[in-house]
């Protein structure tokens, strides 16, 4: 495999008979070291399923998948542990991963990077939506990813807050050099990444050819 992850002829089918649904159909997809890729498509297009295949949460029904050894997620909903403080949420992710974060940064340093050093002892319910997403990003980085997979990370945010979250992701990606795959239905969000891949009904509909 060249790069971080590679899918060849990947299909994902759920159910059987009349209930059968094809979520992905014969997908070829690659993401390279340090590359940023947008998966663009409407709800039900297959972009979340492709993210889950890349991260090992969903097994392909057919085809071959080679994955990055270290991948982590930032989801549309931050999904923080509600009874854990901000610092405890990030600490827990680092403990589960059982490895040092990028550049050996500890949870407090990661939270300082995302501008939340003043919120360490707050519970998720005491944070704004944008702050919750920044904690989720710090939690993802605490797992030392080579590949960060983001599923509609700005979907529940207003436009200004969403733009700040994207600015933060871009800054951290440049700083740490992880690959970034971000699923979105927003063409404006997708245009901020190096490469756009459009999905429609489980198939890659469009991928611009580099000059």
| pLDDT beyond 90 at 200 | yes
Sign of CA dihedral 105, 151, 208, 147: positive
- pLDDT given at position 99: 55
Please list, in sequence order, all residues whose beta carbon lies within 8 angstroms of the beta carbon of residue 76, skipping any fewer than 6 positions away: 151, 152, 153, 155, 156
The dihedrals phi and psi of 140, each to the nearest 5 degrees, come to: -60, -40
24-43 pLDDT tens trace: 999 999 999 999 999 999 99
Which helix (H) or strand (E) covers residue 28, if one does? strand 21-31
Beta-carbon-side half-sphere exposure of residue 18 (alpha carbons within 13 Å)? 0
The two structure tokens encoding residue 171: 């800054």
Prediction pTM value = 0.90
With a pLDDT cut of 70, the percent of the chain lying above it is 92
106-116 pLDDT tens trace: 889 999 999 99
With a pLDDT cut of 90, the percent of the chain lying above it is 73
Q: How confident is the model at residue 190 (pLDDT cuts 50, 70, 90)?
A: very high
Domains observed in the chain = 1-69+146-211 (3.40.50.300), 79-144 (no CATH)
In the block, which residue shows the tokens 């992710």? 93
């Amino acid at each position: 495999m060249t790069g971080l992850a590679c899918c060849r002829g990947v299909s994902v089918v759920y159910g059987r008979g009349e209930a059968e649904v094809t979520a992905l159909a014969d997908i070829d997809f690659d993401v390279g070291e340090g590359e940023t890729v947008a998966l663009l498509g409407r709800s039900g297009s297959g972009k979340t399923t492709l993210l889950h295949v890349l991260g090992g949460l969903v097994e392909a029904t057919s085809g071959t998948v080679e994955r990055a050894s270290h991948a982590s997620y930032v989801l549309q909903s931050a999904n923080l542990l509600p009874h854990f403080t901000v610092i405890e949420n990030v600490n827990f992710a680092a403990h589960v991963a059982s490895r040092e974060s990028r550049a050996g940064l500890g949870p407090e340093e990661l939270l300082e990077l995302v501008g939340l050093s003043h919120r360490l002892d707050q519970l998720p319910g005491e944070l704004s939506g944008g702050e919750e997403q920044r904690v989720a990003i710090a939690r993802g980085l605490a797992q030392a990813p080579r590949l960060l997979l983001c599923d509609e990370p700005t979907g529940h945010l207003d436009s200004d807050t969403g733009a700040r979250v994207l600015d933060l992701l871009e800054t951290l990606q440049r700083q740490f050099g992880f690959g970034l795959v971000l699923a979105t239905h927003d063409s404006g969000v997708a245009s901020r990444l190096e490469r756009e891949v459009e999905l429609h009904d489980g198939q890659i509909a469009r991928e611009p050819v580099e000059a």
